[in-house]
Amino acid sequence: MSLKEYESLDLTRRSEAAKDLFDRIAAESNQSTIVLTPVYSTDSTPALLTQEMSAWFHSCILPYRSGAIEEVHDEFKRRNLKLVEQEIDKIEQTKLGEIAGERAFLRQDHDVELLRTRFAELSSRYDTLRVNYGREALVWQPLRYWTVLSCFMLTEFLINWHSFLKIPGFTPAYATGLMLVIAVAFGFSAHSVGRIIKQWKELFGGHVEFTERRKAKRELIVGTLLFLIAITAVGWGRWFFIQGAILEKTILRAADWNFPTWFNSLARC
């Protein structure tokens, strides 16, 4: 095909080529799934065409287009000139070929396919959760979270620090270190256990894989153990904190009980 034939190609609405294209709509509209051509193609097929559109392009357009481009290229070559569009097309085709090769290599990689399958499963699960809850996932705002949490924990920090100072042999450094360790343990425990309880169905439901279920169970056990260790340490410090008050109250109660006997003995003297 020559350049003149390509320029004179009739693509108006009443042309045979246009009629052929529109006749393909009925056959393709009944399909439940329509596959589009890829964005990257090595055979000059435009991107995002349906299968019928691609077939029409190859039968009605590509023969004329290829011949016209070849004729223009030969004319530039005869004059020792380079066609910028063709050089760009060569670079583009080289790039597309490398991309296609890389994609083919990735399809053969077992780990990549597993990740691809896993991504599809998680995307489907996320869509299901989004429909069930009627909203998108919320973006976590750590600044607001830690600000509110600090307001509640400041008082607890001071009480624990003062309690740990009552433990025999504890210096301010020891009390501060134990207080920070307990704070971290409580924080991790509260976050993990609270999240797991809130997402119990999503983490332990029948649709959850064994690996994910075991991971959530392990996190729940660690969070529970940290809570028990931390609460035991707090109880140990609080015992020494109130031990002095209990001893003082016991002494005063004993003194009040012995006061009448001592007073009567003094009166007889």
**pLDDT tens sequence across 201-216:** 878 877 777 788 888 8
User: How many alpha carbons lie under 13 Å from residue 145 in its C-beta half-sphere?
Assistant: 6
- DSSP secondary structure string for all residues of 41-69: -SSSPPTT-BHHHHHHIIIIIHHHHHHHH
Strand partners, 36: 50
Spatial contact of 128 and 137, defined as CB atoms under 8 Å apart: no
What would the pLDDT profile of 76-94 be if each residue is shown by its tens digit?
888 888 878 778 878 887 8
Quote the pLDDT of residue 256.
61
What would the pLDDT profile of 131-170 be if each residue is shown by its tens digit?
887 888 877 777 777 787 777 777 777 777 778 878 887 8
Give the DSSP letter of residue 46. P
Our CA angle for 55, 58, 60, nearest 5°, is: 100
- Domain positions in the chain are 3-106, 109-138, 142-268
Both tokens of 52, joined, read 């019928």
What would the mean pLDDT of 53-70 be, rounded to a whole number?
Answer: 88
Q: Centre a 10 Å sphere on the Cβ of residue 130 and count the other Cβ atoms it contains.
A: 12
| Residue labelled with tokens 């016209």 | 68
Spatial contact of 232 and 189, defined as CB atoms under 8 Å apart: no
| Percentage above 90 pLDDT, the chain | 5
Residue type present at position 182: I
Quote the pLDDT of residue 255.
61
Q: pLDDT band for position 266 (50/70/90)?
A: very low
What would the pLDDT profile of 230-252 be if each residue is shown by its tens digit?
888 888 888 877 777 777 777 77
| Percentage above 70 pLDDT, the chain | 91
Quote the pLDDT of residue 1.
62
pLDDT exceeds 80 at position 67: yes
Spatial contact of 73 and 83, defined as CB atoms under 8 Å apart: yes
What would the mean pLDDT of 220-233 be, rounded to a whole number?
Answer: 90
Sign of the four-CA dihedral 40, 44, 49, 54: negative
Q: What element of type H or E holds 98?
A: helix 84-108
| Residue labelled with tokens 């009166």 | 267
Collapse the DSSP code of 215 into the 3-class scheme (helix H, G, I; strand E, B; otherwise coil) and give the result: helix
What would the mean pLDDT of 16-34 be, rounded to a whole number?
Answer: 86
Spatial contact of 192 and 203, defined as CB atoms under 8 Å apart: no
